[in-house]
Amino acid sequence: MKVVIVDDEPKLRQGLQTLIPWESLGLTVTATAANGNEAVEIIEKEPPDIVVVDIRMPLMDGLQLIQYLTSAGLQLQFIILSGYADFEYAKQAIKYGVAGYLLKPVDIKEMTHTLKQVRERIEEERLKQGINQTELINRDWVLHNLLLPQDKKEAPAQLRSMAKEAGLLRSCYEVVIVFPRVSDASRSDALQQLSEALKRTIEGKAMGMVTIRFPYVIVLLHEPLRGAERREKLYREIRNAASDIRFVAATGGAVSELEEVSGSYLKAQELIKQAFFSEKGRLLGPNPSHHPLTESCRQSGDNAEGMMEEFISRLYYSLDAGNGTMILPLLKEAAAFFLMQEQDENAVKESFFFLSNAVVHKLTSGYRKETKETDEVSRFLKGIFEYEHLDDLLDETHRFLLNLAEDSEPGGKDKEVKIMINTIHRHYADNLKLETLAGMLNYSTAYLGQLFKNKTGEYFNTYLDRVRIQKAKELLGQGMKVYEAAERVGYTSVNYFHSKFKKYEGRSPSDFKNP
């Protein structure tokens, strides 16, 4: 299969050509290009099978190239190369059906794995397109035909005749599919192992028929799975057949007509795609319940961008102040909001990537010491896209963020006030509000304000103003201009800064400034 590499970095183009074992993968690099315009000329003359493309390039970037080639009707597989800074931009390419997304610097092993996966996908598509419809009727072929969408099937009468000849004519059907959660390199072996083991159980007990339709093992049951007990029993059978293979399984529900079998199959496929939001260790079925998080999600009129900034801010202040008890509830609230926005699995993972990356950046920049090595942060961020269940993603994100802020939590009976004072001294220049801290500490605004007044003798805003004015005095004493000092300590209005300064110092900022 032919590959074209498109990247504006000559060293990267040369490195990929040299370091990737193209021949052993059954691939060959036929051309390279430094930008989208060059790539268009090359690809239109001799279309490849796979295009490896950088997302940011001069003249025509990677996204524009993908848009152009896709709209031109070319059936190509794209693998995107991107830096962390380009992540939001690269997300747009997902709707064009990119086959792979790799972060720079490129990991050769990961790149090799992705290329192999894409090649096998192309081979599978070609195999499906090349089925000989006139081959000798057999049970597997008839079952595969039943799984096809209605407009691709044989005529109903002919389909019923073939099903009868193959011994598949029944009064009821139910499709169960099993998807092995293994690497693409191991998928064929896993499918074979699962199929053979399930045949001994399902076909041995005359319960139905088992076949492979890549990337699934298909079970066509002759009787519906009525009741939770029968579903649990079948799930145990699949688990025993899988042995040490991780998997997810789903049923599309019972149907009574041959023409409806494909509908059951499609429903099961959709459930497999939604497995990320489901409970672990059970057979997924029709009419799935919403994830428990959505039940507790508050309705909000805020837009998604505004809510994301709020989650970032609340997580950051909670971690920076050492209030670890609020992290998991905040993460669950964020996840619930993403679900209420009807985000799919990829979108939820992208949202968690953006959220975590922003919090990590705020925590590890500025005056706070870096608490994690860069490679560990990178592994965590990349690993977000590997989680198979939302609950696992929440738990791991919670663990990682807590480790970022370990040993930072203040103690003592006045813990809440210490957190507030600590936060004021760290973030006096930010738009600090008592409401924000109240949400962070899980108290009402009125209660927390009174608690702060009782312990410090001053209201929250008064204390914040005093800290800001003290910092402004230091800056003015260093020769900073009045408007610069005002902005540096968090006042957006110079006139307001003047009034506050006179209130607490008895003179104007310009009087205080050193000549």
pLDDT at 183 over 90: no
Q: Is residue 286 part of a domain?
A: no
Q: Are residues 240 and 147 in the same domain?
A: yes
Task: Kindly state the average pLDDT of the residues 37-50.
Answer: 89
Q: Are residues 364 and 451 in the same domain?
A: no
Q: Is residue 324 part of a domain?
A: yes
Task: Kindly state the average pLDDT of the residues 244-270.
Answer: 85
Q: Are residues 217 and 170 in the same domain?
A: yes
**375 vs 105, residue with greater confidence:** 105
Nearest to 50 by CA among 22, 12, 88, 18: 22
Cβ distance 49 to 4 under 8 Å? no
Q: Give me the phi and psi of 203, to 5 degrees please.
A: -75, -30
pLDDT at 377 over 60: yes
Query: How far, in Å, CA of 317 to CA of 311, rounded?
Result: 10
Task: Kindly state the average pLDDT of the residues 263-287.
Answer: 82
**232 vs 405, residue with greater confidence:** 232
Report how many domains make up the chain.
4
Cβ distance 174 to 252 under 8 Å? yes
Q: Which of 19-23, 136-140, 479-483 has the lowest mean pLDDT?
A: 136-140
Residues above pLDDT 90, as percent of the chain: 8
Task: Name the strand (E) or helix (H) holding 212.
Answer: strand 208-213
- Mean pLDDT value across the chain: 79
3-state secondary structure (DSSP) of residue 175: strand
Q: Which of 280-289, 401-410, 425-434 has the lowest mean pLDDT?
A: 401-410
Task: Kindly state the average pLDDT of the residues 273-296.
Answer: 68
pLDDT at 332 over 60: yes
Q: Give the pLDDT confidence score for residue 120 in this predicted structure.
A: 87
Q: Which of 150-159, 294-303, 328-337, 415-424 has the highest mean pLDDT?
A: 328-337
Q: Are residues 76 and 199 in the same domain?
A: no
Q: Give me the phi and psi of 361, to 5 degrees please.
A: -60, -45
Task: Kindly state the average pLDDT of the residues 271-275.
Answer: 82
CATH number of the domain at 451, please: 1.10.10.60
Q: Is residue 133 part of a domain?
A: no
**pLDDT band, residue 56 (cuts 50/70/90):** confident
Q: Give the pLDDT confidence score for residue 291 in this predicted structure.
A: 52
Q: Are residues 145 and 239 in the same domain?
A: yes
Q: Is residue 284 part of a domain?
A: no
Q: Give the pLDDT confidence score for residue 62 in this predicted structure.
A: 84
Q: Is residue 82 part of a domain?
A: yes
Q: Give the pLDDT confidence score for residue 32 in this predicted structure.
A: 93
Q: Is residue 478 part of a domain?
A: yes
**pLDDT band, residue 111 (cuts 50/70/90):** very high
Q: Give the pLDDT confidence score for residue 52 in this predicted structure.
A: 93
Q: Are residues 13 and 96 in the same domain?
A: yes
Cβ distance 203 to 163 under 8 Å? no
| Peptide bond connecting 215 to the previous residue in cis, omega within 30 degrees of 0 | yes
pLDDT at 224 over 60: yes
User: Tokens representing 202?
Assistant: 């399902």
Task: Kindly state the average pLDDT of the residues 15-36.
Answer: 90
| Peptide bond connecting 105 to the previous residue in cis, omega within 30 degrees of 0 | yes
Q: Which of 64-68, 165-169, 287-291, 397-401 has the lowest mean pLDDT?
A: 287-291
CA distances from 332 to 289, 352, 395, 398 (A): 18, 11, 10, 10
Q: Give the pLDDT confidence score for residue 337 in this predicted structure.
A: 84
Q: Is residue 288 part of a domain?
A: no
pLDDT at 475 over 90: no
pLDDT at 136 over 50: no
Is residue 295 classed exposed, middle or buried when 0-12, 13-18 and 19+ CB atoms within 10 A define those classes? exposed
The residue type found at 332 is K
For residue 245, the tally of other CB atoms under 10 A from its CB is 19
Contact partners, residue 177, CB within 8 Å, separation at least 6? 216, 217, 218, 219, 249, 250, 252, 265, 268, 269, 272
pLDDT at 407 over 50: no
Task: Output the pTM of the full model.
Answer: 0.47
Cβ distance 133 to 154 under 8 Å? no
β partners of residue 78: 51
**pLDDT band, residue 51 (cuts 50/70/90):** very high
Q: Give the pLDDT confidence score for residue 413 in this predicted structure.
A: 42
Q: Are residues 450 and 500 in the same domain?
A: yes
Q: Which of 157-166, 177-186, 300-309, 377-386 has the lowest mean pLDDT?
A: 300-309
Task: Name the strand (E) or helix (H) holding 3.
Answer: strand 2-6
**pLDDT band, residue 31 (cuts 50/70/90):** very high
Where does a domain end: 128, 163, 195? 128
Q: Give the pLDDT confidence score for residue 4 in this predicted structure.
A: 94
Contact partners, residue 76, CB within 8 Å, separation at least 6? 43, 47, 48, 49, 50, 51, 69, 70
Q: Are residues 74 and 163 in the same domain?
A: no
Sheet holding 77-82, edge to edge: 28-33, 2-6, 50-54, 77-82, 100-103
Dihedral sign, CA of 224, 228, 230, 236?
A: positive
**pLDDT band, residue 371 (cuts 50/70/90):** very low
pLDDT at 28 over 60: yes
Q: Is residue 86 part of a domain?
A: yes
Q: Are residues 344 and 397 in the same domain?
A: yes
Nearest to 25 by CA among 111, 125, 126: 111
Euclidean distance between the first and the last CA atom of the chain, given in angstroms as a whole number: 74
pLDDT at 409 over 60: no
Q: Are residues 7 and 113 in the same domain?
A: yes
Is residue 504 classed exposed, middle or buried when 0-12, 13-18 and 19+ CB atoms within 10 A define those classes? middle
Q: Give the pLDDT confidence score for residue 29 in this predicted structure.
A: 92
DSSP letter for 181, please: -
Q: Give the pLDDT confidence score for residue 297 in this predicted structure.
A: 46
Q: Sort strands 50-54 and 77-82 into parallel, antiparallel or unpaired.
A: parallel
Nearest to 485 by CA among 463, 508, 462: 508
Q: Are residues 123 and 24 in the same domain?
A: yes
Nearest to 160 by CA among 148, 145, 174, 175: 145
The angle, 0 to 180 degrees and rounded to 10, between the axes of the packed helices 139-147 and 261-273 is 70
Q: Are residues 161 and 266 in the same domain?
A: yes
User: Measured in whole angstroms, how far is the alpha carbon of residue 92 from the centre of its chain?
Assistant: 14
Where does a domain end: 102, 128, 154? 128
Residues above pLDDT 70, as percent of the chain: 83
User: Measured in whole angstroms, how far is the alpha carbon of residue 94 from the centre of its chain?
Assistant: 12
3-state secondary structure (DSSP) of residue 102: strand
Where does a domain end: 107, 128, 149? 128
Range of the domain at 158: 139-277
Query: How far, in Å, CA of 252 to CA of 267, rounded?
Result: 5
Q: Give the pLDDT confidence score for residue 294 in this predicted structure.
A: 47
Cβ distance 65 to 45 under 8 Å? no
**84 vs 172, residue with greater confidence:** 172
CATH number of the domain at 177, please: 3.30.70.270
The angle, 0 to 180 degrees and rounded to 10, between the axes of the packed helices 434-441 and 445-456 is 100
